[in-house]
Chains A and B, each alone.
Chain A
């Protein structure tokens, strides 16, 4: 049976800006992705030493999720009830190129482990102790209809009760992150979870 599903938070990082629940909460003037990711981390006074060893895809996803989940009440759920459905176009190519470059020297396991796109989901799960289903899809561009169907299935079938879904892509100096928190609990200002809603810019 179809359950009522709501978008209870949104967060995006693109064009040197961070938008949280529709409001701009950060604007930077970084020249590189590395610089931007670090400045967002510092701006919000995050303290998570593991952040610094992540690749840019994981950093981007981690930061977006960190802000997205600012008011998330983890007490409402069991660890197994929260999961992720993520997608992007370039998989882990940004890190693949860096790792391939490093082969000239000694290959590093700490770089190699990030040459899989789903590692960003792993980092988000470790940070928030989410143990539910996590899926990573590769698509030429954000397929809102597909993501909507996937997330709806997981929530309607009670496989998950809350899901972080969206798009996280980095390649060179190009990057876009756009994440949605979808829950069955209606909160203030929550919008109904719909294809149109996740298609529109945040």
Chain B
């Protein structure tokens, strides 16, 4: 018996998943939308949160199930987590389960609708939301909250993987969400980072990113549920130490995280079948990421960005994109990178332009964010 042997590091699997986005309430609904090239990014001209016309991926008003006492952000988390729990046998998530929440701005939109008081400060706090969600589902352990800019979702999966591998928990419910508010939108507008049309990651004509709303959840476990469950092999995080809002000029730091993740997974660049990039469609991000991919010797590997479908969903992005990446392994299906026609970065990169059927064993997921942070993860068959 090797079970319960403290010397053995358990493998960690994704045993249930949910994507809650404007183009689907379940992962399957989202996959069906992607297969039909449906994008959640729409033109909006009459939003309360901005006087300007914008292209963004937003939930229709009243489409998010609002349960009394919970905010929109918390309801997104609760809806997404409810779906994963329904996928598991009753009682599967026992006492050795931890909730990990990923978000950049959580309840920040309350500043726009509520009177500012000291009580509101506490109501807005990410730890308040995480505890409400924990209590809602009756999880017994203290929740963990990660707020590490746009790598939060990927980092949350990595944190869950480590907590299970170190034996502290058997399962981790890893959920992320962000809501697009006046606060967030005005900030990205001030950076002149937004595209007025559906974004075009890595394309020559790219003009910036779209913001998006969404939530997603994965349940990580040391106990495989199905033969097809995808393994979370490894992950690594680095910092550019260059600039708080501009990425590294060389991409070496993300490249370093990628190399470290490959090493920890026990594979080489030749073993990677598909890269799910961060690909925000800003000039700087895409250039840096292409540099990093070349630095790690992965320029021939088929890659895409899902930002043309979902926009940038901030704290949910790493989770949504990781889930789609695991279905590349399960279904042997890689989606075209919406908006890409001609290479617009100075290093070669192999962007997927049509729905591609191929066997996929190892996937690399990358992410980068303000503060100079980078993340890379490997998912495997």
Contacts and interface: CB of A to CB of B under 8 A. Distances in A.
Interface of A: 79-80, 83, 89-91, 93, 96-97, 99-100, 103, 106-109, 112-113, 115-119, 121-123, 125-126, 128-140, 143, 146, 149, 153, 159, 171
Interface string B285-296: 000000000000
B239 A121 contact: yes
A125 B145 contact: no
Contacts, number: 142
Interface residues of B, number: 51
Contacts of A100: 111-112, 183
B244 A126 contact: yes
A100 B372 CA distance: 24
Interface of B: 104-106, 108, 111-112, 116, 121, 124-127, 130-131, 142, 144-149, 155, 159, 162, 166, 168, 182-183, 186-191, 236-245, 253, 256, 369-373
Given A89-B127, A93-B125, A135 B237 contact: yes
CB-based closest 3 A-B pairs: A122-B371, A112-B187, A107-B190
A100 B238 CA distance: 30
Given A93-B125, A131-B239, A134-B237, A118 B373 contact: yes
Contacts of A131: 238-241, 253, 256
A18 to B, nearest CB: 25
A107 B241 contact: no
A115 B188 CA distance: 12
B241 A126 contact: yes
A138 B243 CA distance: 23
B241 A79 contact: yes
Given A122-B373, A131-B241, A136 B121 contact: no
A109 B147 contact: no
15 contacts: A83-B237, A97-B111, A100-B111, A103-B182, A116-B104, A116-B370, A117-B147, A121-B373, A131-B240, A134-B148, A134-B239, A137-B144, A137-B147, A143-B142, A153-B162
Contact of B191 (A106, A112, A118): A112
Nearest to B159: A135
B32 to A, nearest CB: 34
B142 A130 contact: no
Contacts of A117: 147
B256 to A, nearest CB: 6
B190 A109 contact: yes
B125 A107 contact: no
Given A112-B188, A130-B239, A130-B241, 4 more contacts: A125-B239, A131-B240, A137-B144, A143-B142
Contacts of B155: 135
A108 B144 CA distance: 31
B239 A136 contact: no
Given A97-B116, A107-B189, A171-B121, A118 B183 contact: no
A112 B145 contact: no
Contacts of B245: 109, 113
B132 to A, nearest CB: 12
Contacts of A96: 108, 111, 183
A109 B111 contact: no
B209 to A, nearest CB: 14
A117 B102 CA distance: 13
